[in-house]
Structure 1
Amino acid sequence: MASADLTALQLTGIDAPPLLEVEPGRLLQPVVAAAYQAMQQAAAAAGIELRIASGWRDFSRQQAIVKAKLNGERPVYDAAQQPVTLAGLSPAAQIEAVMLYSALPGASRHHWGTDLDVWDQAAVPADYVLQLTPAEYAAGGPFAALSEWLSQHAGQFGFFRPYRTFRGGVAVEPWHLSYRPLASVYLHQLSLPILQAAILRSELPAREAICALLPTLFQRYICNIDGEEDV
């Protein structure tokens, strides 16, 4: 198998690709880890202490997040960061409300070991509670300098931001970086049948409704990303 290839189970997070622990509990594919560490060193020269909030994430972890949201055990927010009440919404509306910020299990780019959420440890006090909200990375936020630095330099290390702007699918995530040389390959390898098989084996309460909607969800929330030519 070519180094860039993943099996269907690896693409959907059920099995793990080859991984390396970059920071405690933060795993990436080795080539991605090397690129991240080079970027981390460059950022340090600019006074930025780049850290990973989330790296590789398996199917079970993603399932737990989405399942808790669909069951009302974990809050769901709209694009304005206001709580959304799922009760009374149609199954389609419930699923789309969750997918604004949380990918379906099997569909998260974090399954591939190529994607990571980053923050600047030097910009906040030691007891800071990381929120991963757009306001933190916008002008006046603690990670505004990091966001600007990433816009200028992340591409030099192979990274881009797939959710840099809102395109009608996933909300803006300025903290989310993707390693283009591998992630681009995996996005094309992740097919609708592969994802459907993963959903059907899940414990999601609405898996039948999700599968019925999957062709639309696949295009709107998975394939619909910002161009890979920039960050």
Structure 2
Amino acid sequence: MYYHFKKHYWILGIGMLWIISCQLEGFSNGAPSQKKLQGDAMGHNKYTYDSLHAIYLLDSLDSLFLPSFTLEELTGQIDFAEDTNFRAIARDYCYGSRTLYLRQEACDSLEAMFKAAKKDGIKLLVRSASRDYQQQCYFWNRDWKKTNKRGVEKCLDVMKIVAMPGISRHHWGTEVDIDGLGNRYHKATIEDNKRYAWLKENALRFGYYQCYNDDTSRTGYQEETWHWSFYPTGQKMTQDMMYLMTYGDIPEFLGCEHAEEIDVIQHYILGIGSVPSDTTGQAFQDSTVNE
């Protein structure tokens, strides 16, 4: 389903460019006219099949997919504190004392959203944001040891609570878990419901949406009212994951041998709700400017 050769898109691109450079002699002044393509009365035509095919290849380059992110970024194998694409979320917007990180653009929009919520009397705090591969392994291994099931069933049981290391969206720097929205361990309170209602009405203006929503047509994780995704970057990373990721790329962890059997790429990475239409009539552009 996921073409492994897409992982080597750059080889394909370089190869196509090399073929074109070798075959496009005489085309420097533009494509040949119809008269030249047909040749003269004697049948002389310097434009061979190979050179005409090179024109086709050149045109095909327009549709060549070039990912924006690396597998290391997509699987959480980077240091958020050292990566200049990330920055720490303002302490006032974090639950507890830990330093939490997001990608620059996601962080700017998140802080603008929290500031707007505060003006409306709604207090929002981030409980969890970017998690690297090792952090995700810690959570996975912790819950792996709690279930007595085996094989695929054990994996599926753990995935009700935590994503497999290497395929969690929390690796990307675009995802936040917001405190006080209810969770698996306690029912939402009246205040929780107010926060959730505000986010449902306003988050899209800041580029955020609930990717694990109540859409029954999607696959994968159960609904998570607390998990919000910065879609302008998250959608690009989802697309890159689809093109670059193979099951051989998933780092090793307890139960990783069942990832392909479960088809986690199709059913979990792509098992997200679609971005809802902007009912406010204001498409997301730059929240740091608008707020």
Asked if the contact 2:207/2:232 (under 8 Å) is kept, the reply is: yes
Query: 1:164, 1:29 → 2: CA distance?
Result: 23
Matching residue within 217, 220, 227 for 1:169 = 220
Query: 1:49, 1:168 → 2: CA distance?
Result: 31
Match of 1:223 in 2: 270
Alignment of 1:6-45 (within 5 A): 6-16=69-79, 18-22=85-89, 23=91, 24-45=98-119
Query: 1:14, 1:180 → 2: CA distance?
Result: 21
1:143-201 superposed Cα distances (whole Å, 9 cap, x missing partner) = 110000001000010101011215442011111110010000000111376353443x3
Q: Establish whether residue 53 from structure 1 lines up as the match of residue 120 from structure 2.
A: no
Relative to the length of structure 2, the TM-score reads 0.62
Which amino acid in structure 2 is aligned with residue 182 of structure 1? T
Which amino acid in structure 1 is aligned with residue 274 of structure 2? G
Runs of 4+ in 1 over 3 A off after TM superposition: 130-137
The 3 A distance-change label for structure 1 pair 133 and 34 is: same
Which amino acid in structure 1 is aligned with residue 195 of structure 2? L
Q: Establish whether residue 182 from structure 1 lines up as the match of residue 233 from structure 2.
A: yes
The 3 A distance-change label for structure 1 pair 193 and 69 is: farther
Query: 1:56, 1:195 → 2: CA distance?
Result: 22
Asked if the contact 2:123/2:195 (under 8 Å) is kept, the reply is: no
Query: 1:179, 1:46 → 2: CA distance?
Result: 21
Shift of 1:95: 0.7
Which amino acid in structure 1 is aligned with residue 276 of structure 2? E
Query: 2:185, 2:274 → 1: CA distance?
Result: 19
Which amino acid in structure 1 is aligned with residue 72 of structure 2? L
Which amino acid in structure 2 is aligned with residue 186 of structure 1? M
Q: Establish whether residue 149 from structure 1 lines up as the match of residue 198 from structure 2.
A: yes
The 3 A distance-change label for structure 1 pair 173 and 134 is: farther
Asked if the contact 2:182/2:226 (under 8 Å) is kept, the reply is: no
Which amino acid in structure 2 is aligned with residue 51 of structure 1? L
SS at match of 2:179: strand
Matching residue within 77, 81, 95 for 2:155 = 95
Match of 1:67 in 2: 141
Shift of 1:213: 1.5
Identity %: 25
- Rg (Cα) greater in structure: 2
After TM superposition, the structure 1 stretch with the greater mean CA deviation from structure 2, 54-63 or 18-27, is: 18-27
Which amino acid in structure 1 is aligned with residue 208 of structure 2? F
Bigger RCO (CA 8 Å, 6+ sep):
1
